[in-house]
Amino acid sequence: MVVSAVVVAGSFIWQGRVGFNMGDEGFLWYGVRQVQAGEVPIRDFMAYDPGRYYWSAALMSFFGSNSIVAFRLAGAVFQFLGLFVGLLMLPVVETMVGIMRRALAALVLTAWMFNWYKVYDTSVSLFLIGALALLAERPSRGRFFLAGVTVGVAALFGRNHGVYGLAGILGVAAYIGCMKRSVEGILSGLVYCAIGVVLGYSPILIMLAATPGFAEAYWESIRFVLDKGSTNLARPVPWPWTIPVRGVPPLTAAADLLTGVYYMAILLFGFAAPAWLFRSALLKKPVAPPLVAVSMLALPYAHYAFSRAELFHLSLGIFPFLVGTFLILTKLPRLAQRTTMLLIVSTSAIVVLPENPGWDCLVIERCVVMRIGGDDLSLQPLIAGFVSKLESTAADYAPEGEPFLVTPLWPAAYALLDRKSPMWDSHALFPRPPAFEQKEIERIKAAGPKFVLLLDQAVDDRDDLRFRNSHPLIYRYIQENFDPVEDGRWHPSIFQLLKAR
C-alpha cells in the first residue's frame, strides 16, 4: 500500500497540474460537471457508462470543487486502488532486490496509466485480476460470488469490462474443472457468480427501473454499438514491419516500433498463456492464482487494445500482460530476471514516457501556465493558444453565460467556460442516422447558441468522418441559420466560426 501511495502521489505532484486534453478528458470532465448539476449520464448527455461519473462527482463534492485538478485527483484515488491491487498480485520478497523489483513494477504500471481520464479502465482491469486470482486460489461459492460482484461493479465503469470479466471467470472455471477433473461445485459456483453480477450491477438496474428516460437511452446506446459493429473507430494495427522509420527521429521511430512489438506481445501472450495454463491443469501441475487470472484476462483485454490499434488503446489493454510478465520473471534465474526487468523498464520508458504530460513539458517543449477551470495548469503552447482563443471568442459572441456550440472535437469547451452543450452528443465523431440528427437540431434550436465553432477535420484522415459528411443534416442547419464570421483567431483551413442571425 505504501509503494502504491508514494508512486501515485509522486505522479500526481509531478504532472497533476500539467497538460490538458480538449477531447476525451474534456468529454469526461464535462459529463462529471453535468452530473454535479443534476443530469444523468447517457440520458441527458452522451457518456461512458455511469460509474466513473458518479465516482468523480462524489469525490469532487467531497473535495468541495468541480475544478480540473479535483477531477484528476478523484481519478488518482481510483488509480491508487487499482495499483494497490495490481501490486498485491506480485509475490512479496523481503529483500532489497525484491523491494526494488516491486518498486520498478509500480513505476512501470503507473507510467502506462498516462491518461488521467482513463485510469478507471486500467484500474478496473487490475481489480478483475485480483478477483479472479482469489477465485483460482480457492474456488468456493463465496469467491464465485465475490468475482461476480467485481464483474458487475466493473461493468458500471464500462460494459466492455463486464464482458471481459465474464470471459475471464468462465476461463478460470474451466481451468478449475480441468484441475479437479470434475465440474462438481463449479455449476453452483457460477450460479452464485451470476447473483453477484446482478448485485454488483444493481445501481444500473435500479436506474433502468426508476430513472425516467434512462432505460430508453441505455438500450439505444447498446443498439448504436451493435449497429455500428464496433466500440471504436478502427485503425490498422501498427505491426513493426509497417512502421516508417526513414526520416523519423530515432527515439520516435523506436517508440513506434516498440508499440508494434507490444501489440505482438499481448496477442502472443493472450493465446499462449491460456494454452500453457490448460496444459498445466491437465498435467495436474498447480499454477500461481494471479498467473491463472492474467492468463484468462489477457486475450479479452487484447480485444480492447486492438479495437483501435494505437498506443492510447494499447495502454488500456496491456495490464494483464504486464502483470503476467512480472509474475513470470520471478520464476527465472537471477540474470534472466534482471535482463527481463531491464527490457520492460527501458522499452516502457521509450514508449510511454513521452506520452506523460509531465515529461512533455519537462523535455519536449516549454509549457505555459494558464488558468483552467479555476486551477493553474502548465499547458503546451498550442493548447494554451486554443484555450485563449475560445475564451476570447466566447467573450465576444456569447458573453454573460450565453450558450454556444463547438463541434465535433472539443467537448472541453463547455467545461472550460461553464456552459451546457446544445447537443446531446458533445463529442460528435460517429455518423448518426437522420432521425438522431433531427433530434439534435431540435435541441440546438431550443438552446439558441450565439455562435458555432466547427472543426472541419478529417478524423483519422477519413473524409467521411468530417462533420459535414458524418452529420450532414446538422451541418446544413448550421449553414442555413448562422452567418460565417471572418475572424483572424481561427485558421479557415480547419475552423469555421459562425454567429447566430
Query: SS3 letters for 219-285?
Result: HHHHHHHHHHCCCCCCCCCCCHHHCCCCCCCHHHHHHHHHHHHHHHHHHHHHHHHHHHHHHHHHCCC
Segment 336-347 shows an average pLDDT of: 92
* pLDDT(231) > 80: no
Q: What mean pLDDT is reported for the chain?
A: 93
**pLDDT number for residue 467:** 93
Least confident segment among 194-203, 208-217, 415-424, 450-459:
450-459
* pLDDT(251) > 80: yes
**pLDDT number for residue 493:** 85
215: cell is 432505460
pLDDT band at 501 (very low <50, low <70, confident <90, very high): confident
**pLDDT number for residue 284:** 87
Which of 234-238, 366-370, 445-449: highest mean pLDDT?
445-449
* pLDDT(327) > 80: yes
Name the pairing type of β-strands 375-379 and 368-372: antiparallel
* pLDDT(39) > 80: yes
Q: What percentage of the chain has pLDDT greater than the value 70?
A: 100
Q: Name the β-bridge partners of 498.
A: 452, 484
pLDDT in tens, 79-117: 999 999 999 999 877 677 778 888 999 999 999 999 889
* pLDDT(44) > 90: yes
* pLDDT(229) > 80: no
* pLDDT(337) > 80: yes
Segment 435-464 shows an average pLDDT of: 93
Residue 416: CB atoms within 10 A of its CB come to 24
**pLDDT number for residue 46:** 96
**pLDDT number for residue 233:** 83
Long-range (24+ apart) CB contacts under 8 A made by 173-181 are 173/139, 174/278, 175/136, 175/277, 175/278, 175/281, 175/292, 175/296, 176/136, 176/139, 178/278, 178/281, 178/282, 179/281, 179/284, 179/286
**pLDDT number for residue 399:** 92
| Phi-psi map region of 139: left, alpha, beta (phi>0 left; psi -120 to 50 alpha) | beta
Distance (Å, rounded) from C-alpha 321 to C-alpha 317?
8
Distance (Å, rounded) from C-alpha 78 to C-alpha 26?
19
